[in-house]
């Protein structure tokens, strides 16, 4: 399922809430995979702490799409997101010794990325940047963001019209998300796009699980209002 479809379903567009949402079903599956994920992370961490450079390259390859996606949706500008992604990896490299393993490596990486994006955003706002932020991203960035699913990219029979529609839906959803207040937007992105559990999000944002659920509910409501008011839900219809 494409990222925009997950968000729209969660926001109530053509979704049946009598059935579990995609992310809720994913939570059940994720529990069964936790031991495997933590074992893989433990091996990667051991290689990182041993100073193996290939291990850091593996870390970058694993988490770069996720970090870019998060920072882009916070900052709303592809160039800023690339800069924030680079700074995130620098901080991870410098502060790896501070990672205690109290949460998953993915959770810690997301926390560093979100904090870096927030810092970058405050830096720009203090300087009152006048240029208009753009959510139009290059094809390379779009692939990194994962706006097009692997199935779509691999489908050689996909018509130019369907590919164009998919790109337009992605742009429209990004613009709608950008109008949702930042704290609520981050919670929605982490839950409905990245499929993280409430507990993981609470750890990343350093808030209670109850606050996480409240922000997600309010963020979905805000997104639904934005789409309905702008009329964009027509082009984004599943």
- At residue 155, the pLDDT reads 47
- At residue 122, the pLDDT reads 61
- At residue 149, the pLDDT reads 38
Considering Cα of 10, then 149, then 72, then 31, what sign does the dihedral take? positive
- Give the pLDDT mean for 171-198: 90
Least confident interval from 21-25, 55-59, 190-194, 223-227: 21-25
Statement: residue 19 has pLDDT above 70: no
- Give the pLDDT mean for 127-136: 50
Q: 29 or 24, which is more confident? A: 29
Domain boundaries, the chain: 3-234
- At residue 153, the pLDDT reads 42
Does domain 3-234 sit in CATH 1.10.1740.10? yes
Quote the mean pLDDT of the chain.
77
The values of phi and psi at residue 129, to 5°, are -60, 130
- Residues across the chain: 238
215-237 confidence digits (pLDDT tens): 999 999 999 999 888 765 555 54
Q: 20 or 222, which is more confident? A: 222
The rounded distance, in Å, linking the Cα atoms of 152 and 140 is 15
Residue 213 in contact with residue 2, Cβ under 8 Å?
Answer: no
- Give the pLDDT mean for 103-126: 83
- Give the pLDDT mean for 149-158: 44
34-46 confidence digits (pLDDT tens): 677 778 888 998 9
Statement: residue 15 has pLDDT above 50: no
- At residue 195, the pLDDT reads 87
- At residue 13, the pLDDT reads 66
| Nearest CA-CA partner of 37 in 196, 207, 206 | 196
CA atoms within 13 A on the CB side of 23: 24
The rounded distance, in Å, linking the Cα atoms of 101 and 237 is 41
Statement: residue 207 has pLDDT above 60: yes
The rounded distance, in Å, linking the Cα atoms of 14 and 75 is 29
Helix, strand or coil, per DSSP, at residue 83 = helix
| Nearest CA-CA partner of 170 in 210, 143, 188 | 143
The rounded distance, in Å, linking the Cα atoms of 198 and 196 is 7
| Nearest CA-CA partner of 200 in 85, 111, 82 | 111
């Amino acid at each position: 399922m494409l990222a925009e479809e997950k968000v729209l379903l969660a926001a109530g567009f053509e979704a049946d809430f009598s059935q579990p949402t995609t992310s809720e079903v994913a939570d059940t599956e994720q529990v069964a995979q936790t031991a495997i994920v933590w074992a893989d992370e433990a091996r990667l961490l051991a290689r990182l702490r041993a100073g193996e450079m290939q291990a850091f390259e593996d870390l970058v390859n694993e988490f770069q799409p996720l970090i870019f996606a998060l920072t882009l949706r916070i900052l709303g500008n592809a160039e800023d997101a690339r800069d924030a992604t680079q700074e995130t990896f620098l901080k991870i490299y410098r502060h790896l010794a501070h990672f205690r393993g109290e949460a998953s490596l993915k959770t810690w990486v997301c926390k560093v990325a979100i904090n870096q994006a927030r810092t970058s955003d405050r830096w720009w706002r203090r300087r009152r940047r006048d240029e208009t932020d753009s959510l139009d991203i290059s094809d390379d960035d779009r692939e990194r963001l994962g706006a097009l699913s692997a199935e779509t990219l691999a489908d050689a029979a996909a018509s130019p019209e369907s590919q164009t529609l998919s790109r337009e839906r992605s742009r429209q959803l990004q613009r709608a998300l950008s109008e949702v207040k930042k704290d609520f937007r981050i919670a929605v992105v982490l839950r409905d796009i990245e499929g993280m559990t409430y507990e993981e999000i609470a750890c990343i944002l350093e808030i209670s699980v109850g606050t996480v659920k409240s922000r997600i509910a309010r963020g979905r409501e805000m997104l639904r209002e934005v789409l309905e008011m702008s009329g964009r839900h027509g082009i984004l219809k599943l």
